[in-house]
Amino acid sequence: MSFARPGPRTYEDAVRVIESRQRRKRPKGTSAGTSAQSTGNSGTPDLRGLPGITGMREWLDMLGHSPDAINSLNVIHLAGTKGKGSTCAFTESFLRAHGKRTGFPQKTGMYTSPHLLRPEERIRINASPLATTKFAQYLFEIYDKLPQLAAEYDPGKSVVDRGPRTLQLYALLALHTFIRERVDVAIIETHSGGEYDATNVVSRPVVTAITSLGMDHVQTLGPSIENIAWHKGGIYKAGAAALSTKQDPEPARVLVERAGRVSEDVTFVEEDPALPRGTLQLKPLVQMKNASLAVAAANAFLSRTRGHQSQSLDENDVRLGVEQWHWPGRFEILPRDQCTYFVDAAHNDMSVGIAADWFVESSREMLASAVRVLVFSHINELRDAVGVLSSLAEALRRVDTHMEHVVFTTYAEAESDDASAAASDLAVFRDTWEQQFPNSRIWLEPTVEGAIRRVEVVAKQHIAADIHVLITGSQHLVGPALRLLSAG
């Protein structure tokens, strides 16, 4: 693929460039000199594969972006297992509310991943996804300075000469965009780890913060919670505020050690009493933890960039920040005629349990007698899909909730998409679910479109009842589901 010739360079062209950089197959083992081996469960690194940060500094130099240029973005860097996106969005919302009142910050930038519906959602200016015209413009500005993007993949070349992979290219695009847009603050979410993450090319952030930690990405970050905490704690930097939500003792100890190595003390953030109670945006309870960490991150940012400790969010900033906050696909409730859809992009053992509790509490508050339906998919070689489904089933059993109908599907949105590779997983999901809920009516639908149609058929079978539908298991399921529900 080459766009070096004259002619239009459209948004669709830009997306094709990024998609062409997808890794063909996740590497196994480690690369000498670029990654670290585990020595057990003591919190030492256990990285498998090529570190995402490899090549980032060289590519930024080729783009003309020095370390000082990156650091001038006033970065708030967030890592964690659960709640990273929500916490980023809360932090941005609080700072934007403060900016409306005081004039600073006037322009916010935010980078998160993955996207739900369209790639430009990953890069936001003042909370809005980057305009498609600018997405294409900035991507091709990078393309013209990185000749590797136009070359055929050659495994014999060095990492730098092969060019950035997809996530690295997104990170480069975000940093390039924030520089070109002259943002006052850049809120940046890590991809999965921390120490070796592509976003950790930022050497002098203003604030670093870590959300709740749990067992996720174990095939790349290590088999223990201490390993995972070690990686996440790699974002802590000398001179930057070091924050974390409350953690279990084992990961908390590792985070304290990691911050201590750069002469910083970790502040473990308690629930903030200034946050409003009973608002939809702060349900379930985990959102209160995320918002509390966001308040602390915003206040630390303001005190360090404005030069005095008295500069902070006031009561109205916090109230407005919560009111205007919205994060699609996270604890989202969508009424659609007879059906009410409860949508959450939970994707690991910890998060699906939280999603189950939120669904049950919210559904029972609305109508205790509703017919309840689950739509689930989780297809990922890096995670135990059956384990995630089992955790969801156990969480529902714990709160004594039976799903009358269960629909298992793939990530394929419509019949024209290729769903065959993952369809065989559906029978495994059915067998797993029947072990805990043998009385559920189970449907196997190879596409998300088919799953939504199945829900509509169920609704017609219960024409006099309200139907409450939980859609969860992966962001790759939630995105297509939201697109179909919006279109309908």
Are both 314 and 395 inside the same structural domain? no
Last residue of one domain, picked from the residues 289, 323, 357: 323
Averaged pLDDT of the chain: 90
Domain-located, residue 3: no
- For residue 424, the domain's CATH number is 3.90.190.20
Are both 384 and 416 inside the same structural domain? yes
Q: Span 6-13, mean pLDDT?
A: 83
Tell me: the pLDDT tens digits for 237-261?
999 999 999 999 999 999 999 999 9
Burial class (CB in 10 A: 0-12, 13-18, 19+), 106: middle
Domain-located, residue 5: no
Residue percentage of the chain with pLDDT more than 90: 76
Highest mean pLDDT among 35-39, 45-49, 151-155, 418-422: 151-155
Are both 157 and 231 inside the same structural domain? yes
Domain count, the chain: 2
**Could you tell me where the DSSP H helices lie in 222-348?**
225-232, 249-260, 285-305, 315-323
**The pLDDT of residue 31 is above 50:** no
Domain-located, residue 381: yes
Are both 187 and 96 inside the same structural domain? yes
Residue with tokens 């847009």: 181
Are both 239 and 319 inside the same structural domain? yes
Domain-located, residue 6: no
Residue with tokens 């604030």: 207
CA separation for the pair 159, 198 (Å, rounded)? 13
Please say whether the beta carbons of 345 and 330 come within 8 A: yes
- For residue 255, the domain's CATH number is 3.40.1190.10
Last residue of one domain, picked from the residues 281, 301, 323: 323
Are both 273 and 387 inside the same structural domain? no
Are both 396 and 377 inside the same structural domain? yes
Are both 402 and 317 inside the same structural domain? no
Are both 154 and 17 inside the same structural domain? yes
Last residue of one domain, picked from the residues 323, 350, 380: 323
pLDDT at 248: 96
pLDDT at 280: 86
Q: What are phi and psi of 129, to 5 degrees?
A: -55, 145
Residue percentage of the chain with pLDDT more than 70: 89
Domain-located, residue 2: no
Are both 196 and 265 inside the same structural domain? yes
Are both 353 and 294 inside the same structural domain? no
Q: What are phi and psi of 371, to 5 degrees?
A: -80, 130
Domain-located, residue 303: yes
Domain-located, residue 4: no
pLDDT at 26: 47
Please say whether the beta carbons of 124 and 324 come within 8 A: no
The length of the chain, given as a count of residues: 488
Got the DSSP string for 192-229?
A: S-STT-GGGG--S-SEEEE-B--S-SHHHH-SSHHHHH
CA separation for the pair 218, 459 (Å, rounded)? 39
Are both 293 and 271 inside the same structural domain? yes
CA separation for the pair 257, 426 (Å, rounded)? 43
Of 20-29, 208-217, 263-272, 469-478, the poorest mean pLDDT is in: 20-29
Task: Find the domain containing 378 and state its range.
Answer: 332-487
Tell me: the pLDDT tens digits for 373-403?
999 999 876 558 889 999 999 999 998 889 9
